[in-house]
Each structure stands twice: as structure tokens, then as C-alpha cells.
Structure 1
Amino acid sequence: MKLTLKILSVLALSLFISCAEKTKKEVKKTGAVVEEVEKAPIYDTNDPQTVLAAIEYAHGGWNDLWKKGDVQYTYNYHSTDANKTDISTERYIFSNEASYGHYTKHEINVMPDVEGNVTQCFDGEKTVVLINGEKTDNPQGNVVGDFLRKANYFWFVMPYKLNDQGTITTYIGQEELNGKTYDKLNVTYDPKLTGKEENDIYILYVNPETKLIDRFFFSLPFMGVNEPVIIADYEYSDVEGQMIATKRNYYMPSPNGYADSPNLVQTLTDIKFNSGFTTDNLMAASK
């Protein structure tokens, strides 16, 4: 299968966005003080939902992320094949999935032929796109902006989204990779809920020791890639108790297999939680 830069450009644009659920807690009473304590889930491959719950817990838990309120980081999205890059300041509000991106460099996904800075903002209901601070009516720019706002948010909270209602999860055995034995899960979505004939498919490689997803394969139905053949390798950093995928390498299949070097590299830096963002101030100047 030949995947071109066009595939890379929409890699972030075709994900089904579903509503996140909060990690369940148990209440522990200590004398007169009531504490909420995260209950470590059972990890049992005979029940794939427990594996997804363990993944959530290992990442720090949805409740912990929710309490942080919001996040801001610098996002570098680089195509090694084309030697082109998108660089943005990203901001998300977890309570309503509001999403902001301010692009100071945009050579791939975001209006590459336009001069100046591009800003996209989804307030939880609608998306606006600005060029150098002026709202644009460019149809393609607005469509791409709306997709990216929702997709970039999805990628950031992906460990929690995988355990949403409507996912169909199957344990498909183990595989050794780089000297480690991984548990593999097939995750897709219920077409009755999505209304789609072809839904995204993930093959997750879960490290049974850390409970993190070190690798996954996924499909891209939006571009006619209906089988999970694109590889994502993730590297994590602990940021205030949340395990964030701060480096993401993507590999595209070819008639000769996969290249040794990634076709696409994404890095997240300068991650900061709890800046007090609201839908009113989300587009304010960077702090």
C-alpha cells in the first residue's frame, strides 16, 4: 500500500471523537476524614475491559487529569519524508473538550500556502479559524481547523478515550517486541453508535509491567485505509502524575515493508497544567 504525504496530512484528522468517562473511585474513611482513593484495577486479559481500566490507572487516572482543569504545551509535528513541520501552542479544557491551537509554523496540515500565524479555537460547540488575528471564511481552512481541534484533543487523552462506552475490545494474545512480551488488544467502535460502516481499529501493545501502550497499529478509514497497518511508537514522560506521550513516532507501510526511521515524528514540550483557561480566555496571549 502506498501512503503519501496526503495520508500523513490527514493522520490527525480522521479519528472518531467520543465522550470521556471518569475513572471510578472507591471512598475510604479514615476516622472523621473522608478520602477519595484511586482503586487499582485488576489486570486480567480474560476481561479486556480490565486491561483498559489498568491503562487509565497507569496513566494517572481521568479524575486526576480532570482536576488539573486544562493543559498547554508546544506541539511539533514533523514529516521526515517531506522535511516539513507544523508547530503550534496547544490548549485544552478537559471539562468541555475546548481546544485551541496557535500555529507559528504550518507547512503540512494547516493552510500551508497562507502567510502569517494561524489560530484555531473550538469552544466546545463551534470552531473559528483566524489568520493573523482576523477570522477567515476559507472553507478548507475551517474544515481542517475543526477536525484538528477535536483530533489533537483526542490524541492527548487517548488512554482514557479507549475505555469509553461504545468501544469493542478483544484480547488477541501476546507478541514479543524489542525483548519484551506485550499483551495485544483489538479495539474498535460499535457501528450502531458511530453510524459508520468502517470504524477506526487499534491493535494495542500493552506492557503488562507498566500498563502503558508502547506501540499500536491503527487504520485510517477516512483515507481508505481500512486495516490497522499504520504503526505508532510512543515514549512517555511523567508530568505532574500524568504519563504523557511526549514523543510519538509513526511508520507507514510500503511494498517493501516499514522503514527503519519514522515517517512522522511528533513531540510535546513545555507541558503545563491548570492555567485557569476558560472559553472566554482560551485565545488570550500565551503565558
Structure 2
Amino acid sequence: MSYLFKSSVLCLTLLMCVTSCKNENKQDKEVEVPELIIDDEPMSPIEAIEKAYNKETFLSNEAIELDIVISFGGKERLDAKMTYLTNSTQGKIELKDGTFIYYDNDKVFHSPDLKNEKAVRFDAYTWMYFLLFPDKLSDQGTIWSELETAELNGKTYNKQGLTFEANTGDAPDDWYVVYSDPETHMLDYVAYIVTVNKSTEAAEADPHAIGYSNFKTIDGVPFAHNWEFYEWTKDGGLGKVIGEAAIKDIKFVTPDANTFKVPEGFIEK
């Protein structure tokens, strides 16, 4: 047998051996590789918004205080100092005329000489909800629609509808449509109806939207210091501006035993 032939046979044998070993190793790997487990689930759109607003830091504080002036049609609607627990279970509104509104969960109390007594439950809860909205998206009883995209003011947004389970809060028939930036997840606009003191049909005949702007970070948490209120329709989007709000002196505070204590003689509404 020639040297060349022996070499060829040897090379062929080695090649077959290597190939066989590779195939065995490949089969072993296919059998032995463990199932891939992903620990971190992707964030939902609501979780992304809550993260953008640093909800965890917000809730690590006990209460928030701010001054706000709200106007509609060029007329001042409300000028007050507001104080709320960050879990929103208690609140106090001190109006500039010296009258007060308190709420404790579902109970509302007001000064005997409060001027706008008919709107007391509206004032107790609605402004708080607009202020704390980014941190209340996953409250108990919230129902969210599937995420979709929508054009508003020439910009593409993530859009989701929010409704509520029966007996949730003071007005479970309210609904909201949330427009969030797909990159930053911040809320630019929220359309809504408010059914306090009116029927659902009447509220749906006159829906509005709120636009959030002039964000400033307070102790790690972003807050919109300006709001604009708009006419709004599902098909037409934003209409004309009908109101505005200016907020200042936002700060986290630690309430004492008397902060949310309702004074004697106050009227429960």
C-alpha cells in the first residue's frame, strides 16, 4: 500500500470520526439545553406610563400640597391650596375665601358658608383625580381597552380607553381616553366625561379633554404645572380651549394629626 494511499485512508478515517463526534455532541446539546425562562415580563402600556411618572417614588411620600387657580371662559372657577395623601384616600381644599372642603374616602364635608355647595363633591374629587391621574391608572376597578394608535394635533399617540367597574369611586360611569407619547410615555392629553351631578347621557353629549404641559420635576416626580381644557369629540379630536389651570408651589409634605381632621360644624354632603 503506497504512502499516499495510507495517508488518504487515515485522513478519511479521522474526518469520519470528527464528524461522528460532532453529531453526537450536537445531539447531546439538543437534549440537554434547558428550557429558556424569562424572568422579566415586558411592561404593559400602563406600567410604562407609571414608570415614566416615577409612581414608586411618588407613593413613597405621604402627602402632596400645591396651589392651583382654575379658570373657565375667562372667569375664575377655583383658587385654592390643595393637600392630598398620595394614596388619595384623604384630601383638603382650602379656598382663598377661607372656606374648606374635606374628603375622607367616600365622605365629603364642607364649611357651612361654602359658596358653591352644589359642586362640592365634584371639587372634592375631580381636581384631585386630574392631578394624580398618572398614579391612579391601575387603581382597583379600572378597566383598560386594547392599545391602539391615534393622531391628535398632528402627532401619533398611544391611545387607550379607561372605564370602571360598577360601584367604583364616586362616579363609576365616567370614562377617559388617554393619549400618551409612544417614546416618553408621558401623558399629553386625556379626554373625559364627568357624571357627578348629571346623567351619563348628558355628560357624553359634552365631553372634554385636558392637556398637560410645563412639566417640572419635584423630588424626582414630574408634574404638569399647566393644564388646558378643550372641547373634544371622538371623531374630531380636540376643539377650542375652554379653560385653564395654573399650579405652583408643589411639594411633598408630612401631614400631622389635624391636617385632615374635619372641624366641628362642617356639613357632610
User: Does TM-score exceed 0.5, indicating one fold?
Assistant: yes
Which of residues 48, 52, 66 is equivalent to 2:59? 66
- 1:233 aligns with 211
**Alpha-carbon shift at residue 56 of structure 1 (Å):** 0.8
1:194 to 1:90, Cα distance in 2 relative to 1, 3 A: closer
For 2:171 and 2:259, locate their aligned partners in 1 and report how far apart those are by CA, in whole Å: 39
Which of residues 246, 250, 256 is equivalent to 1:278? 256
- 2:102 aligns with 121
The residue type equivalent to 1:76 in the other structure is V
Q: Within the alignment, does 1:77 sit opposite 2:70 as a pair?
A: yes
For 1:96 and 1:231, locate their aligned partners in 2 and report how far apart those are by CA, in whole Å: 22
Q: Deviations over 1:66-85 (max 9, x none)?
A: 22211111111011x25234
1:280 aligns to what SS in structure 2?
coil
1:253-264, aligned counterparts within 5 Å? 261-264=240-243
Query: Contact (CA 8 Å) 1:215, 1:232: kept in 2 or not?
Result: yes
- 2:184 aligns with 210
1:1-287, aligned counterparts within 5 Å? 42-43=42-43, 50-61=44-55, 63-79=56-72, 81-95=73-87, 97-104=89-96, 116-124=97-105, 126-130=107-111, 136=112, 141=117, 144-171=119-146, 173-191=148-166, 193-194=167-168, 199-222=173-196, 223=198, 224-226=202-204, 229-235=207-213, 236-252=215-231, 261-274=240-253, 276-282=254-260
Identity score, percent? 20
1:145 aligns to what SS in structure 2?
helix
For 2:170 and 2:251, locate their aligned partners in 1 and report how far apart those are by CA, in whole Å: 36
For 1:172 and 1:227, locate their aligned partners in 2 and report how far apart those are by CA, in whole Å: 25
- Given the two structures, how large is their TM-score scaled by the length of structure 2? 0.68
**Alpha-carbon shift at residue 190 of structure 1 (Å):** 2.1
1:196 to 1:151, Cα distance in 2 relative to 1, 3 A: closer
Query: Contact (CA 8 Å) 1:98, 1:279: kept in 2 or not?
Result: no
The residue type equivalent to 1:185 in the other structure is Q
Aligned residues: 217
Instruction: List gaps (5 residues or longer) in structure 1.
Output: 1-39, 44-49, 105-115, 131-135
For 2:81 and 2:179, locate their aligned partners in 1 and report how far apart those are by CA, in whole Å: 30
**Alpha-carbon shift at residue 88 of structure 1 (Å):** 0.3
- Given the two structures, how large is their TM-score scaled by the length of structure 1? 0.64
For 2:250 and 2:186, locate their aligned partners in 1 and report how far apart those are by CA, in whole Å: 19
For 2:100 and 2:170, locate their aligned partners in 1 and report how far apart those are by CA, in whole Å: 30
Query: Contact (CA 8 Å) 2:70, 2:79: kept in 1 or not?
Result: yes
